Amino acid sequence: MARNTHLRPSSLPALDHGVTTVEQIAELSTRVAGMTAEIASLRQQRQTISPFERLRGAWRSHYGTPLCRPPSTTRLDAPDFMEAAEGIHFLEYEPSGIAFHWTGPGHASRFTVFVDRSVPVMVHLSLFMAGRLSDSDTMTAAIDGVSYPFSQSGRHGTLVAGPVAPRADEGKTDILLHVPVMFSPDDGSGDSRRLGVAITSIALEPAP
């Protein structure tokens, strides 16, 4: 697995001696306000979706047929992880606008999605930074108790695992991501978190 050597772990910005403390506080306040608004939006989305999920379950229980099938393809971008993932750190943005989450503090992270599993699917994982992984380190995605190793795809920064075996029921799919190597930043910023890899998105798509 190739390592992104030109990128360094990112967290809240370290003190820049060329900028005043007041300006730094203003910048951090702006970021916090943006994150607060994003969390409120995600909670509102969750409140909108939950009644539909209850209706969907009641319909299937009563009539024995699905109200509608889940999508054939599903994708979670970093801002979506708040309600659908465990074992990740807070949402971060690079100055260029790229959103990502570091995995951690443990080796395992869980992502929950709804997708049509009547056909084999592939797991696509987009990385912003590969942490301390080397070419000999292999990340895996465990689904339904089966572990699938990731390998490089044709797209830069994207790993792929599968094909994942199909499943008859239409319940949720849990993806248990395992990162074999963890580290703590040593860039002098005071960031002592245990980090794995920085993820920008995860997707399940029908296998070719």
Three-class DSSP category at 25: helix
Q: Which residue has the higher pLDDT, 75 or 27?
A: 75
DSSP string for residues in 138-166:
--EEEETTEEEE-EE-SSTTEEEEEEEPP
DSSP three-state, residue 71:
coil
Given a cut of 50, whether residue 7 has pLDDT beyond it is no
Encode burial over 36-47: b for 16+ CB neighbours within 10 A, e otherwise: eeeeeebeeeee
In this structure, of 30-44, 101-115, 123-137, 194-208, the range with the lowest mean pLDDT score is: 30-44
Beta bridge partners of 74: 204
User: Is the pLDDT confidence value at 13 over 70?
Assistant: no
pLDDT recorded at residue 71: 77
Residue 97 pLDDT greater than 80, yes or no: yes
Residue 69: DSSP 8-state: P
Residue tagged 């708040």 (tokens) = 82
In this predicted structure, what is the pLDDT of residue 69?
63
Report the predicted TM-score, pTM, of the whole model to 2 decimal places. Answer: 0.67
Share above pLDDT 90 across residues of the chain, in percent, rounded to a whole number = 45
Which residues are CB-neighbours of 93 under 8 A, at least 6 positions away? Answer: 31, 99, 100
User: Scanning the structure block, which residue is given the tokens 């993820």?
Assistant: 199
- Amino acid present at 76: L
Q: Which helix (H) or strand (E) holds 134?
A: none
Of residues 200 and 51, which shows the higher confidence score? 200
Name the one residue in this structure whose structure tokens are 């990128």.
Answer: 7
Band the pLDDT of 19: cuts 50, 70, 90. low
Token readout for 25 is 């506080």
How much is the pLDDT for 82? 78
Mean pLDDT of the chain: 81
Residue 128 has pLDDT above 60, yes or no: yes
pLDDT of 104 > 60? The answer is yes
CA dihedral 51, 53, 59, 60 (to 10 degrees): -160
Half-sphere exposure of 199 (CA within 13 A, CB side): 32
Give how far Cα 208 sits from Cα of 113, 119, 120, 201, Å.
20, 10, 9, 20
- The per-residue pLDDT for 171 is 74
Residue 194 has pLDDT above 70, yes or no: yes
Q: What integer pLDDT is reported at residue 23 of this predicted model?
A: 73
3-state secondary structure of 17: coil
Over residues 13-36, the mean pLDDT reads 68
Domains of the chain, earliest start first: 21-206 (2.60.120.260)
